[in-house]
Amino acid sequence: MKRAILEATESNILNSIKENTFNRNMDIKDFVEALDTIEGNMFISLDAQWGGGKTFYVRQIESTLDFLTKRMREDDNLTEVENLRPYFQNTVLDSINLKQSYLPIYYNAWLYDNHDDPLMSLIYIIVKKKK
């Protein structure tokens, strides 16, 4: 069987949410709602074979948390919310009401594998996302 590979670009991620391409929207909803109930620190592990869609799933969660958090603070992010709304409208993800806000960060460890100080590259990604 030949695998269909869809690169995890922002456009592909958002379109997959809008169209529920992989029938994952309900799984994403369940994950985000469970995440929102966690108090304190927790590690979450995601395991699958190479090409199993881990990166894509994590990026879908990242985009969902980003949209929902921006929607919570719509006064500050009105333009960003309006740009993202068409991808989430009429999906089960639009019905999620978060109790807390998030700053979802996707950190590609392979991309920064050759850095002497990986903490600095992580801090750079966080600061860049905050802007």
Residue 2 has a pLDDT of: 46
Residue 123 has pLDDT above 60, yes or no: yes
pLDDT in tens, 61-88: 999 999 999 998 876 668 888 999 999 9
Report the pLDDT value the prediction gives residue 104, as an integer from 0 to 100: 93
Cβ-count burial 10-36 (b if 16+ within 10 Å, e if not): eeebbebbbeeeeebbeebbebbeeee
Whether residue 3 is predicted with pLDDT greater than 80 in this model: the reply is no
Q: Could you report the per-residue pLDDT of 89-122, keeping only the tens digit for each?
A: 999 999 999 999 999 999 988 888 888 888 998 9
Closest CA to 129 of 66, 75, 36: 66
Q: What is the pLDDT of residue 50?
A: 87
Percent of the chain with pLDDT over 90: 63
**What angle is formed at CA 27 by the lines to CA 93 and CA 52, rounded to 5 degrees?**
125
